[in-house]
Amino acid sequence: SQTIHQWPATLVQPVGSPLSLECTVEGTSNPNLYWYRQAAGRGLQLLFYSVGIGQISSEVPQNLSASRPQDRQFILSSKKLLLSDSGFYLCAWSLAGGPGDTQYFGPGTRLTVL
């Protein structure tokens, strides 16, 4: 069966510090991968998605970036965090192609920028 991992689970960082969040998927090959952010009291916003190694699409301009160095690894990064980057970050995967693909979410990383 497929599983998705995210770490760290919780992170407190000062403004201006760098960020690296990691997501890995097990039990499937060539998945589509996604990063979402959930700000306090708000819905989910798609940040990045990837259909393959090295292929990243950005949905929202921001100071965040994403990379996919391996087939089942997706990394969210920032060189300098802003207060507004605080939130709950969720990674998700889906099978590539096909209609109505279901996305499966990881446990999330709660980021607080102080």
Question: By the criterion CB under 8 A, which residues form the site for another protein?
Answer: 6, 32, 34, 42-44, 46, 49-51, 57, 59, 90, 92, 94, 97-108
Tokens of 29: 């090959």
CB of 30 to another protein, least distance (A): 12
CA dist., res. 65 & res. 58, Å (int): 8
Nearer to another protein, 69 or 97 (CB): 97
Going by their DSSP bridges, the two strands 109-113 and 10-13 should be labelled as: parallel
Nearer to another protein, 19 or 34 (CB): 34
Helix (H/G/I), strand (E/B), else coil: 14: coil
Tokens of 99: 């209609």
Nearer to another protein, 42 or 80 (CB): 42
CB of 79 to another protein, least distance (A): 26
CB of 3 to another protein, least distance (A): 12
CB of 47 to another protein, least distance (A): 11
- Length of the chain measured in residues: 114
User: Cα dist. 7→4, 52, 90 in Å?
Assistant: 10, 21, 10
Nearer to another protein, 24 or 80 (CB): 24
